[in-house]
Amino acid sequence: MEKYSQIILKSGKDQSLKRFHPWVFSGAIKEIRGAVNEGDVVEVLSNKHEFLAIGHYQIGSIAVRVFSFADSEINQSFWVDKLTNAVSLRKELLKPETTGTNVYRLVHGEGDGMPGLIIDFYNGTAVMQMHSIGMYRIREQLAQCLKDVMGDELKAVYDKSAKTIPYKSDVNPVDGFILGQLEPDVVSEYGNFFTVDWVEGQKTGFFIDQRENRRLLQEYSKGRDVLNMFCYTGGFSFYAMRGGAHLVHSVDSSEKAIELTRKNVELNFQGDERHEAYAEDAFVFMKDIKDKYDLIVLDPPAFAKHQRSLGQALKGYKRINTRAFEQIRPGGIVFTFSCSQVVTKDKFREAVFTAAAISGRNVRILHQLTQPVDHPVNIYHPEGEYLKGLVLYVE
Ligand code: SAH
C-alpha cells in the first residue's frame, strides 16, 4: 500500500510542478487513487506515474498545495526542519535582538515552502493564521514543532484562523490559544512601540509588512507636513514624527483604528502636539487638502480580493492617487501602495501613471518598494509578491 493517497495528473499538466510552482489546480487532475478527505496529505504523480510532489489536498480551485518536491516522510521532523529553516532565516537577516525589533513574520506561506500557513511573532506570542484545511488540521503539531524550534523564546501560540479558513470547509474554527497564554502586549519595531491586539485586530494584529517602508519614510519626513492616509495603528505616523515631521495627520475610516493610533502615538510621543488623528473616509478627507501637505502616504486596504474586482480596484487606486497628486505642495513626496495580490506591479504603476497624467504635474519615481525579507517570495510562485509601493517626487 502506498504511503499517501495519490493524485494523478492529466497529460501535460505536470509542467508547472516541474518548475516548482506549488499549486495543483483541480482541472489538472485525471484521477484520485484512494480515499481522500479535505486536508489529507497526498502524493502527486504525472500521467506517466512519475513522482512529482507532496502536499495538502483541498476542495476548490487550488486542489493541492505542495510543501515537498521530494519523496519525504511527512512527520514531526519534516515540519521541525521547515520551521527551523524559516526561523533561522529571520534571525540571520533581521537580527531582532540588536535592532529593537521583536515583531516579525516567522512563516510566509509559499515563500517558506509552507503554503496555507502564516505565523507572525509578537514578542513571545506566535499568531498562526491558516489558509488551508491541511495546515489547520495539524495546527497543534505545528505549534509544538515551533516550540521545539524556538524554546523559551516562544511563550504562547494563538490560532487566528476563523476568518481565513475556506468557509465551505467542514470545520468550525474558533480562535484561541493552542499553547500557553499571553495578554496582548506592547511590541517594538526599531524602537517604536505599538499595542498589538491579535484577538480583535486586522490580519494577525499589525501590518508587519510595511516595516522597512515606514523606516524609509522617516528619512523623508524632516520639516514636512505629513498626511498618513489609511493609518490603521498609526505606524507611518510615528516614524514620520521620529524623522522630525513638522505635523502629522493620521486618517482612517475606522474609529477603532483612530483610537489605536492615538494610543500608540501617546506611547511613543507623550503630549506631542504635532499629531492629530481623524476618523474619516479617505475620499471625503482628500476632497479638500490643497497645498496642505508635502508628504502623503496612501496605504489602502486590498481594493481587489479577486480577479473580478480588478477593474474597480484600479479605478480606486487611480482616484486616490489623483487626489494626492493634484493637491500636494510643490516639491512634495507621495508614498503610495497596493497590497492586492491580483493587482500586478505593472497594473499598479499604470494606475499611478494615469493619476499623475490627470494631475498634469511632473512626477518622478524615487523608489520602488516591496515587502520585507521576512515576507520572502518563492521565485517559482510570483503570486507571492503582493506588496507594491512607489515613492514619488511631485514638482
Ligand atoms: N498603513 C497601515 C495599514 C493600512 S490597512 C499600517 O502601516 O499599519 C488599511 C486601512 O484602511 C484599515 O485600517 C481600514 O480601516 C482603512 N480604510 C478602509 N477603507 C477606508 C476608507 N474608505 N477611508 C479611510 N480608511 C479606510
Task: Take atom 10 of ligand 1 and give the residue whose Cα is closest.
Answer: 230
- Ligand 1 centre to CA of 201 (Å) is 12
- Ligand 1 centre to CA of 275 (Å) is 18
What pLDDT is stored for residue 303 in this prediction? 85
Question: Of all atoms in ligand 1, which is nearest to the CA of residue 232?
Answer: 13
The per-residue pLDDT for range 198-232, each reduced to its tens digit, is: 888 888 888 999 999 999 999 999 999 999 999 99
CATH class of 5-68: mainly beta
The per-residue pLDDT for range 262-288, each reduced to its tens digit, is: 999 999 999 999 999 999 999 999 999
The per-residue pLDDT for range 337-381, each reduced to its tens digit, is: 999 989 999 999 999 999 999 999 999 999 999 999 999 999 999
Q: Which of 43-47, 105-109, 168-172, 293-297 is predicted least confidently?
A: 168-172
Point out the residues that are catalytic: 339
CATH 2.40.128.120 fits 76-188, yes or no: no
- Ligand 1 centre to CA of 14 (Å) is 41
Pocket probe mutation, ligand 1, options 228, 253, 289, 337, max atoms within 8 Å of Cβ:
253
For residue 1, name the pLDDT band (cuts at 50, 70, 90). Answer: very low
What is the SS3 assignment for the chain? CCCCEEEEECCCCCHHHHCCCCEEEHHHEEEEECCCCCCCEEEEECCCCCEEEEEEECCCCEEEEEEECCCCCCCHHHHHHHHHHHHHHHHHHHCHHHHCCCEEEEEEHHHHCCCCEEEEEECCEEEEEECCHHHHHCHHHHHHHHHHHHHHHCCEEEECCCCCCCCCCCCCCCCEEEECCCCCCEEEECCEEEECCCCCCCCCCCCHHHHHHHHHHHHCCCCCEEEEECCCCCHHHHHHHHCCCCEEEEEECCHHHHHHHHHHHHHHCCCCCCEEEEECCHHHHCCCCCCCCCEEEECCCCCCCCHHHHHHHHHHHHHHHHHHHHHCCCCEEEEEEECCCCCCHHHHHHHHHHHHHHHCCCEEEEEEECCCCCCCCCCCCHHHCCCEEEEEEEC
Pocket probe mutation, ligand 1, options 195, 232, 299, 317, max atoms within 8 Å of Cβ:
232
Domains 5-68 and 76-188 share a fold: no
- Ligand 1 centre to CA of 286 (Å) is 14
Pocket of ligand 1 (CB under 6 A): 207, 210, 230-233, 235-236, 252-254, 257, 281-282, 299-301
* Whole-structure pTM value: 0.95
Task: Take atom 15 of ligand 1 and give the residue whose Cα is closest.
Answer: 254
Sequence ranges of the domains in the chain: 5-68, 76-188, 207-394
Task: Take atom 8 of ligand 1 and give the residue whose Cα is closest.
Answer: 207
- Ligand 1 centre to CA of 118 (Å) is 21
The per-residue pLDDT for range 102-152, each reduced to its tens digit, is: 999 999 999 999 999 999 999 999 999 999 999 999 999 999 999 999 999
Q: What dotted CATH number matches 207-394?
A: 3.40.50.150
Q: To the nearest whole number, what is the mean pLDDT of the chain?
A: 95
